[in-house]
């Protein structure tokens, strides 16, 4: 059977439901540029354009939340010029393309140790979160200055500071102190560029996520391939440690 590649055929399909939350590790920008003899930043620019295309495709597919790993805590170790170019790219997207998406109803959120971001970006992020908070469209979650271990560590600190007794500590308490509080865990995590690892992304939340790995470098990851990934997910059988459950949205304890 061939894969169909449209949001319409996915929604109309009988094979399974659309994942509620898709998270993406957008990897391979640097290699994409290097293969073409271009500076790495050209790969990031092309990657950012691709992100815009995939955000629109995800929203049209009826996905409830899309999380993009845009800048990891570890990425601060990259050369200063690459970091500052990435920050400028982010600033420009916050001023232009993310604004257009917010006007179309997207809810904008961030996760990560955002206090490390330059002040101008922090202000723009805050502003986008506030302006979009009454929207009812897809949640677009940007992981910025994010690492899963750091998120868990910050959650543990908050919990200790709250003075909770050990016997009162539950998974719900941990979850409500994570940056992703209020978001369902990702049903599907996509990673581009051929690497098959989680790289400190959504460590707590990925407990039962399905994974889709592709050799495609992020700047080449078209919406058609995104729909193929969703179709692939629809064919999965999710068991959550239990017995057979159709892929999709069902929660099983
Ligand atoms: C990984 O490629 C990608 C990043 C470190 C940053 C992702 C950023 C973007 C897609 C652009 C900004 C996004 C938005 C939404 C404005 P890499 O540099 O690690 O690639 P490599 O593994 O080939 O070196």
Specify the CATH number for the domain of residue 48: 3.40.1180.10
Flag whether 1 is in a domain: no
Please tell me the predicted confidence (pLDDT) of residue 242.
Answer: 77
Residue 186 lies in a domain: yes
Cα of 70 vs centre of ligand 1, distance in Å, is 6
Catalytic residue positions, numbered: 27, 75
Write the residue with the smallest CA distance to atom 11 of ligand 1.
48
Q: How far apart are CA 56 and CA 138, in angstroms?
A: 10
Kindly state the tokens that stand for 34: 């290097």
Distance 201 CA to ligand 1 centre (A): 14
Contact in structure between 94 and 132 (CB atoms under 8 Å): no
Q: Token digits for 191? A: 């990673």
Two structure tokens written together for 227: 């729909």
> pTM higher than 0.75, yes or no?
yes
Residues within a 6 A CB radius of ligand 1? 26-31, 44, 47-48, 51, 68, 70-71, 75, 89-90, 93, 193, 218
Euclidean distance between CA atoms 90 and 106, whole angstroms:
17
d(CA 231, CA 205): 22
Pocket test for ligand 1, best of 70, 196, 217 (most atoms within 8 A of CB): 70
Share the mean pLDDT of the chain: 92
pLDDT for the residue 239? 72
pLDDT, position 11:
59
132 occurs within a structural domain: yes
What was the pLDDT predicted at 252?
A: 34
In a domain, 10, yes or no: no
| Closest alpha carbon to 218 in 75, 105, 68 | 68
pLDDT value of position 17: 83
Encoded tokens for 33: 């540029």
Domain count, the chain: 1
Q: Which residues of the chain have pLDDT under 70?
A: 1-16, 244-253
* Residue of minimum CA distance from atom 7 in ligand 1: 70
Beta bridge partners of 80: none
- Predicted local confidence at residue 10, as pLDDT: 62
Task: Kindly give the distance from the C-alpha atom of residue 111 to the centroid of ligand 1, in angstroms, as a whole number.
Answer: 17
Does residue 4 fall inside a structural domain? no
- Give the pLDDT confidence score for residue 21 in this predicted structure: 98
The two most distant CA atoms of the chain are separated, in Å, by 58
Task: Report yes or no on 11 lying in a domain.
Answer: no
Q: What pLDDT score does 7 carry?
A: 58
Dist CA 55 CA 68 (whole Å): 9
Give the single-character DSSP code of 212.
E
Q: Quote the domain boundaries for residue 119.
A: 20-251
| Angle in degrees, 0-180, between the axes of helices 80-95 and 40-61, rounded to the nearest 10 | 40
Q: Is residue 103 part of a domain?
A: yes
In a domain, 24, yes or no: yes
């Amino acid at each position: 059977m061939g894969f169909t590649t449209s949001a319409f055929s996915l929604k109309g399909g009988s094979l399974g439901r659309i994942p509620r939350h898709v998270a993406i590790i957008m990897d391979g920008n640097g290699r994409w540029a290097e293969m073409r003899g271009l500076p790495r930043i050209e790969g990031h620019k092309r990657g950012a354009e691709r992100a815009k295309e995939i955000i629109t495709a995800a929203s049209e597919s009826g996905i409830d939340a899309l999380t993009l790993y845009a800048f990891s805590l570890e990425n601060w170790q990259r050369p200063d010029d690459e970091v500052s170019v990435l920050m400028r790219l982010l600033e420009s997207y916050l001023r232009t393309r993310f604004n257009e998406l917010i006007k179309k109803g997207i809810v904008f959120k961030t996760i990560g140790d955002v206090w490390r971001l330059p002040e101008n970006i922090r202000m723009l992020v805050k502003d986008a979160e506030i302006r979009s908070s009454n929207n009812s469209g897809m949640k677009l979650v940007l992981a910025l200055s994010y690492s899963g271990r750091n998120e868990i560590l910050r959650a543990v600190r908050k919990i200790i500071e709250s003075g909770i007794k050990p016997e009162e500590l539950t998974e719900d308490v941990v979850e409500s102190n994570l940056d992703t509080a209020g978001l369902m865990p990702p049903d599907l995590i996509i990673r581009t560029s051929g690497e098959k690892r989680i790289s400190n992304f959504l460590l707590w939340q990925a407990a039962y996520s399905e994974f889709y790995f592709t050799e495609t470098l992020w700047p080449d990851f078209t919406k058609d391939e995104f729909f193929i990934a969703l179709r692939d997910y629809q064919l999965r059988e999710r068991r959550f440690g239990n017995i057979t459950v159709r892929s999709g949205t069902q929660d099983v304890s």
